[in-house]
């Protein structure tokens, strides 16, 4: 038995040694919103560069911001851009800045599980705000029913599902609600983690958790990134945009929402495109960003991440639409390519 | 009485006795020193742990003081943190767990200690010990895929129909929530109650039982009215141990409790517990106050389990000192 | 027989059979758990489960090879950290220490034992992750190792103390020094118990998830060396179980079966070792 143990030990050590040879490993953490996209990208990129592993852990945007600020990961990811306080905190801690790089565009959809209802419901901003404020409590409330004549809605209590942890998707959702509802703006505000006004609600871990909870809980409603609702085949609703049109989340709708912002993109790429103008725009759209330090102490890691971002801006974009994420507008791509030089 | 062995050179009284003896003594001294260092490191690590918890929660302690325990608001946006919902959730789920596990556990322990023939008792105890070895995440797995749907589709609607007037069973049947978490916890802590209580009961002296039977008591009366009261302190100790275990359970609870910081009278409501909220929010807590508030929760949990474990040990020692004879044959 | 006596006898028979029911319920839970795991996970435990890396999110066909290897590395490290401290500390307690020191050390160990695993995770994060600026296998192994210390310490001490005085005295009478007695006589005669202890401590931390969440984090690829985050079976089960993907659910069941199978096998072997040991050293 002792001999077996020694052999196992030696084998394990050898295995680690062998695996460690020449493999550069980068660790990133953050948003669950783009996780399907990122996992596909890092997988494909690894196939092209077998000696580079980019390990991405989807722990939520808040986690991405926190861990990159602590310096425990090489890059972060978030759908809620870092605010000025957070940027300052990073600067103070590291002596250099943190850069935002948009990767793709996505949509946050209201997804629901109502027994007997398979149609795509129409949601007005008032309905969505009302539900999440806890004022609209039943599915057959006029605020919902009036926009959905012809659909039989049950008189059941609405079960609200939200994110349990700090989340960029929550940021996008609350950003939208703050724009369309004055009450939401003053009472709750927009942030990655808020105090939810509904007395009874369920929390899910990550986009994955919310999707799973909605899927398993009748009469529930949640907010998730489009691909999660699509790939799990749960119904999601159309949302009335600023132009008064009910739009179903789609690549076209998200691209239309980003069109205006692309032309006036700020240098740090932090911008909100919720409730964008235009009749085709899907109102709950968002960019999602990689958080990359402006200064790397490890040249190999810096080159690796720059190489990935270059690939992501060109070849990588071709994988986006298959996963229901919209490509970046070309103005943004051009601007990012130049911004890559800011990474030292 | 000369020693007759051949192998020990120190027996040589003339040549190198002092040098060898001193070397031997050094050998022992070295051994003592090395092992002492390892033992001391245990103490040092523990002190460091408490220190880290204390220091790491300095901000909220100074800012909120004792109101941390009275506030039910957990608002990361406005930097308001109150522990009440999590303390509530921890206590409620543990209470439900005890309500289910204690009668079952003590009943089973009585069976194993008093009724079952020794072979059967040992075999069953073997299986109970295996049950104690099942990790939390496996219970969580079964919780999510088996127990929660069962609760949502069958059990909770039934409870609402029968007992719906009570505030305990109001609200929609989520499947997740306090009741489900309490049930999963109950399964997890039963083995502890059974194995400790069984040992305690087995250690109750034979003459106690025999005296009762001699006075005409039935088997049950002898057990319930004489043996169990005799072992009462130890059994309570086992309950404290199980409770301490339940308080600290993380994974199984976080997977079925619903992850919402709510205080609700209804057992069907989702909620959160201290261990569960730390697990789900620690990695994402941005800002010192948020992170440190979670650490303060960890400190609270640590103190609770510390006190309970201490009490448990005292009570178990008290009982085993009482029953210093053999149990039944 | 009076009516009252008949009633009391009935109550007695009834209550005692109820306790039997309680015992039956408690034991059958174990088999229910195993049954569900085999039923749901059995089919998914395939060759690809053991040999392939995870596939991108939403795609099927991935496996948990890296989680299995990751768990092995974590547990190896945990054993290397936890067992020596527990073992040598126990030798100190059993052979060298005075009563006050022994009390303090045992108290500290019991304290550590009672610490909830999530709190150990916080501690390991601040000690092994923050200062080094990355999540790592090492930090995860450190957290698990901490949990192994108190179990190993207390149990090993018990087994060392249980070595018959006659053996110790015999060695002393033959002129052996203390450390030599320990090495050649005491430890070897207690080795079964010590081995059992190590196996049980190992099985205990094999299933721990919470401490790994903030230390080893996770990895979708192989984890090179000891300084990178790593996947592990328990964390993989957790992440996959709360996800909405059917394929991941199946993999979670399979992983659960593998993990529980491993833990139960170790437990059974350990208790078997101990039982044989007891029957052998009858004198």
For residues C108 and B46, the answer to whether their CB atoms sit within 8 Å is yes
Residue B8 distance to chain C (closest CA, Å): 7
Q: What are the residues whose beta carbons fall under 8 Å from the beta carbon of B123, sequence distance 6 or more?
A: none
Interface with C, mutate which of A25, A68, A304 (most C CBs under 10 A): A25
- Chains A and C: how many Cβ contacts under 8 Å? 89
Q: Which residue is closest to C248 within chain A, CA to CA?
A: A208
Tell me the CA distances in angstroms from C100 to A95, C94, C104, C106, one per residue in order: 50, 13, 6, 10
Q: Verify whether the Cβ–Cβ distance C222 to A71 is below 8 Å.
A: no
Torsional sign, CA A149, A150, A156, A160:
negative
DSSP-based three-state secondary structure for A53: strand
Touching subunits for chain B (3+ Cβ pairs under 8 A): A, C
Are the beta carbons of C89 and B301 separated by less than 8 Å? no
DSSP string, B223-286: IIIIIHHHTHHHHHHHHHHHHHHHHH--HHHHHHS-------S-TTS----HHHHHHHHGGG--
Confidence of residue C283 (pLDDT cuts 50, 70, 90): very low
C193 touches chain A (CB under 8 A): no
CA within 13 Å, CB half, A110: 33
Give the mean pLDDT of C82-91. Answer: 94
User: Considering only residues 267 to 306 of chain A, which have any Cβ-Cβ distance to chain C shorter than 8 Å?
Assistant: none
Quote the pLDDT of residue B25: 60
Which residues does A214 contact at the CB level (< 8 Å), separation at least 6?
A: A111, A112, A113, A161, A204, A220, A221, A222, A224, A234
- CA-based nearest distance A155→chain B, Å: 13
Measuring CA to CA, which residue among C186, C193, C156 is closest to residue C278? C193
**pLDDT at residue B318, as a whole number:** 79
Q: β-strand A201-204 against A159-163: which pairing, if any?
A: parallel
Give residue B15's pLDDT. 47
pLDDT of residue B329: 38
**Residue B135: which of C116, C173, C259 has the nearest Cβ?**
C259
* Residue B81, strand partner residues: B74
Using a CB-CB distance cutoff of 8 angstroms, which residues of chain A are in contact with residue C135? 27, 72-73
Residue for token pair 């054993």: C79
Show residues of chain B in contact with A219, CB under 8 Å: 172
Longest dimension (CA), chain B: 94
* C14: closest CA of chain B, how far (Å): 9
**Residue pair B223/B110 in contact by the 8 Å Cβ criterion:** yes
Q: What is the pLDDT of residue B284?
A: 82
Q: Is residue A11 over pLDDT 70?
A: no
**Residue A181: what are its φ and ψ, rounded to 5°?**
-135, 115
Q: What is the enclosing helix (H) or strand (E) of A7?
A: helix A2-20
Residues of B in contact with C214 (CB under 8 A): 282-283
pLDDT, residue B1, reads 44
Residue C144 and residue C214 in contact, taking contact as beta carbons nearer than 8 Å: no
Q: Are B253 and B196 in contact (CB under 8 A)?
A: no
> Pick from B3, B250, B306: which is nearest to C210 by CB?
B250
Chain C: partners with 3+ C-beta pairs within 8 Å = A, B
Is A25 part of the contact surface with chain C (CB cutoff 8 Å)? yes
Nearest-CA distance B152 → chain A (Å)? 8
How many helical (H) and strand (E) elements, i.e. helices and strands, does chain B have? 15, 2
Residues of C whose CB is below 8 A from B190? 26, 29
Inspect the interface and report whether the beta carbons of B31 and C96 lie closer than 8 Å.
yes
Cβ of residue A35 closer than 8 Å to a chain C Cβ? yes
Q: Give the chain C residue whose CA is nearest to the CA of B193.
A: C26
CB contact under 8 Å between C130 and A43, yes or no, is no
Classify strands A98-113 and A246-247 as parallel, antiparallel or unpaired. Answer: unpaired
- The answer to whether the Cβ–Cβ distance between C33 and B309 falls below 8 Å is no
Whole-number Å distance between alpha carbons of C37 and C254: 7
Nearest CB to C114: which of B218, B244, B278?
B244
Closest CA–CA distance from residue A212 to any residue of chain B (Å): 10
pLDDT in tens, C191-250: 888 999 999 999 999 999 999 998 999 899 988 889 899 999 999 999 998 888 888 999
Q: How far apart are CA A257 and CA A251, in angstroms?
A: 10
Size of interface B-C (CB pairs under 8 A): 273
Give the residue among C229, A31, C111, C116 at the shortest CA–CA distance from B253: C116
Cα C257 to Cα A45: distance, rounded to the nearest angstrom: 33
pLDDT value at position A118? 87
d(CA B160, CA B148): 16
Do β-strands B74-75 and A246-247 pair in parallel, antiparallel, or remain unpaired?
Answer: unpaired
- Mutation pick from B1, B38, B116 vs chain C, by most beta carbons of C within 10 Å, is B38
**Inter-chain touch B269–A200, beta carbons under 8 Å:** yes
Q: Looking at the partner chain, which of C27, C123, C182 has a beta carbon nearest the beta carbon of B124?
A: C27
Cβ <8 Å between C242 and A9? no
Put simply, whether the predicted model's pTM sits higher than 0.90 gets the answer: no
Residue ranges of alpha helices (H) inside A138-245 are: 142-145, 168-180, 182-187, 206-216, 226-231
Instruction: Provide, as residue numbers in chain B, all residues whose Cβ is less than 8 Å from the Cβ of A61.
Output: 284
What residues of C are in contact with residue B146 (Cβ under 8 Å)? 36
Q: Is A176 on the interface with C (CB under 8 A)?
A: no
φ and ψ at residue C197, rounded to 5 degrees: -60, -50
Contacts of C263 in chain B (CB under 8 A): 133-135
The chain C residue lying nearest B109, using CA atoms, is C23
In tens digits, what is the pLDDT along chain B, a chain of 329 residues? Answer: 444 445 444 444 544 445 555 655 667 888 888 899 999 999 999 999 999 999 999 999 999 888 898 888 888 777 889 999 999 999 999 999 999 999 999 999 999 998 889 899 999 999 999 999 999 999 999 999 999 989 988 888 888 888 888 888 887 778 889 999 999 999 999 999 999 999 989 888 888 888 998 998 888 888 899 888 988 888 998 999 899 889 989 999 999 998 888 888 889 888 999 999 999 888 888 778 889 999 999 999 999 889 988 888 888 787 777 765 444 43
What is the mean predicted confidence (pLDDT) over A146-164?
A: 90
Chain C nearest CA to B73, separation (Å)? 23
């Amino acid at each position: 038995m002792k001999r077996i143990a020694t052999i196992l030990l030696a084998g394990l050590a050898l295995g680690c040694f062998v695996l460690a040879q020449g493999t550069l490993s980068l660790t990133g953490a953050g948003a669950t919103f783009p996780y399907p996209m990122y996992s596909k990208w890092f997988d494909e990129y690894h196939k092209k560069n077998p000696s580079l592993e980019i390990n991405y852990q989807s722990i939520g945007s808040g986690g991405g911001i926190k861990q990159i600020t602590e310096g425990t990961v090489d890059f972060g990811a978030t759908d809620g851009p870092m605010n000025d306080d957070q940027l300052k905190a990073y600067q103070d801690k590291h002596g250099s800045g943190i850069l935002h790089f948009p990767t793709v565009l996505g949509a946050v959809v209201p997804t629901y599980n109502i027994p007997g209802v398979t149609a795509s419901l129409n949601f007005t901003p008032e309905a969505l705000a009302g539900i999440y404020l806890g004022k609209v409590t039943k599915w057959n409330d006029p605020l919902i029913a009036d926009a959905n004549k012809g659909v039989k809605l049950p008189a059941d209590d609405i079960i609200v599902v939200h994110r349990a942890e700090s989340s960029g998707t929550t940021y996008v959702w609350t950003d939208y609600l703050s724009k369309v509802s004055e009450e939401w703006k003053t009472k709750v505000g927009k942030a990655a983690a808020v105090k939810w006004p509904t007395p009874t609600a369920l929390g899910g871990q990550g986009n994955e958790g919310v999707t799973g909870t909605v899927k398993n809980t009748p009469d529930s409603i949640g907010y998730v990134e489009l691909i999660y609702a699509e790939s799990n085949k749960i119904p999601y609703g159309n949302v009335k945009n600023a132009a008064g049109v009910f739009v179903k989340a789609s690549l076209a709708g998200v691209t239309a929402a980003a069109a205006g912002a692309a032309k006036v993109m700020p240098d740090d790429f932090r911008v909100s495109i919720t409730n964008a103008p235009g009749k085709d725009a899907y109102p709950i759209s968002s960019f999602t960003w990689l958080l990359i330090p402006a200064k790397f102490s490890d040249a190999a890691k810096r080159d690796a991440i720059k190489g990935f971002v270059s690939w992501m801006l060109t070849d990588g974009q071709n994988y986006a639409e298959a996963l229901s994420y919209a490509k970046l507008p070309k103005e943004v791509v051009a601007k990012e390519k130049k911004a890559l030089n800011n990474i030292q | 009485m000369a020693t007759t062995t051949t192998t020990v050179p120190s027996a040589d009284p003339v040549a190198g006795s002092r040098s060898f003896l001193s070397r031997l003594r050094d050998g022992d001294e070295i051994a003592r020193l090395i092992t002492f260092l390892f033992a001391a490191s245990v103490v040092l690590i523990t002190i460091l742990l408490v220190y880290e918890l204390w220091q790491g929660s300095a901000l909220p302690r100074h800012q909120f003081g004792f109101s941390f325990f009275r506030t039910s608001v957990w608002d990361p946006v406005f930097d308001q943190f109150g522990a009440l919902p999590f303390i509530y959730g921890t206590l409620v789920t543990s209470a439900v767990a005890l309500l289910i596990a204690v009668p079952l556990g003590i009943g089973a322990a009585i069976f194993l200690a008093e009724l079952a023939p020794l072979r059967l008792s040992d075999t069953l105890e073997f299986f109970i010990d295996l049950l104690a070895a099942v990790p939390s995440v496996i219970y969580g797995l079964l919780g999510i895929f088996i127990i929660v749907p069962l609760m949502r589709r069958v059990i909770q609607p039934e409870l609402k129909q029968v007992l719906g007037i009570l505030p305990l069973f109001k609200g929609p049947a989520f499947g997740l929530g306090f009741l489900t978490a309490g049930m999963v916890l109950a399964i997890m802590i039963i083995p502890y109650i059974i194995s400790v209580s069984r040992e305690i009961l087995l250690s109750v002296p034979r003459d106690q039982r025999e005296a009762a039977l001699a006075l005409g008591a039935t088997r049950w009366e002898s057990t319930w009215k004489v043996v169990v009261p005799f072992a009462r302190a130890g059994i309570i100790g086992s309950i404290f141990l199980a409770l301490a275990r339940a308080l600290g359970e993380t994974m199984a609870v976080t997977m079925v409790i619903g992850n919402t910081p709510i205080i609700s009278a209804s057992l069907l409501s989702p909620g959160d517990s201290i261990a569960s909220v730390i697990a789900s929010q620690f990695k994402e807590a941005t800002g010192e106050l948020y992170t440190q508030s979670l650490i303060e929760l960890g400190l609270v949990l640590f103190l609770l389990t510390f006190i309970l474990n201490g009490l448990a040990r005292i009570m178990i020692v008290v009982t085993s000192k009482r029953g210093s004879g053999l149990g039944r044959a | 027989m009076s009516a009252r006596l008949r009633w009391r006898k009935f109550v007695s028979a009834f209550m005692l059979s109820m306790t039997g029911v309680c015992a039956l319920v408690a034991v059958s839970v174990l088999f229910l758990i195993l049954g569900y795991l085999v039923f749901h996970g059995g089919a998914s435990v395939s060759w690809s489960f053991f040999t392939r890396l995870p596939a991108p999110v939403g795609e099927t066909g991935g496996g948990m090879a890296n989680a299995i290897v990751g768990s092995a590395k974590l547990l190896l490290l945990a054993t290397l950290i936890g067992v020596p401290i527990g073992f040598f500390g126990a030798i100190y307690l059993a052979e060298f220490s005075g009563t006050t020191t022994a009390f303090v050390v045992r108290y500290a160990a019991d304290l550590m034992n009672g610490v909830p695993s999530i709190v150990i995770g916080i501690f390991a994060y601040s000690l092994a992750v923050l200062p080094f600026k990355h999540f790592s296998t090492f930090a995860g192994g450190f957290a698990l190792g901490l949990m192994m210390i108190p179990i190993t310490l207390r149990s090993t001490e018990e087994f060392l103390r249980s070595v018959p005085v006659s053996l110790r005295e015999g060695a002393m009478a033959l002129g052996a020094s203390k450390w030599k007695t320990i090495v050649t006589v005491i430890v070897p005669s207690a080795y079964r118990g010590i081995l059992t202890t190590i196996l049980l401590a190992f099985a205990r931390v094999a299933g721990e998830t919470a401490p790994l969440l903030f230390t080893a984090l996770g990895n979708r690829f192989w984890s090179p060396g000891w300084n990178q985050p790593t996947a592990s079976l328990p964390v993989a089960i957790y992440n996959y179980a709360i996800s909405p993907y059917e394929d991941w659910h199946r993999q979670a069941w399979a992983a659960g079966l593998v993990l529980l199978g491993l833990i139960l096998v170790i437990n059974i072997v350990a208790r078997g070792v101990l039982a044989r040991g007891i029957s052998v050293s009858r004198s």
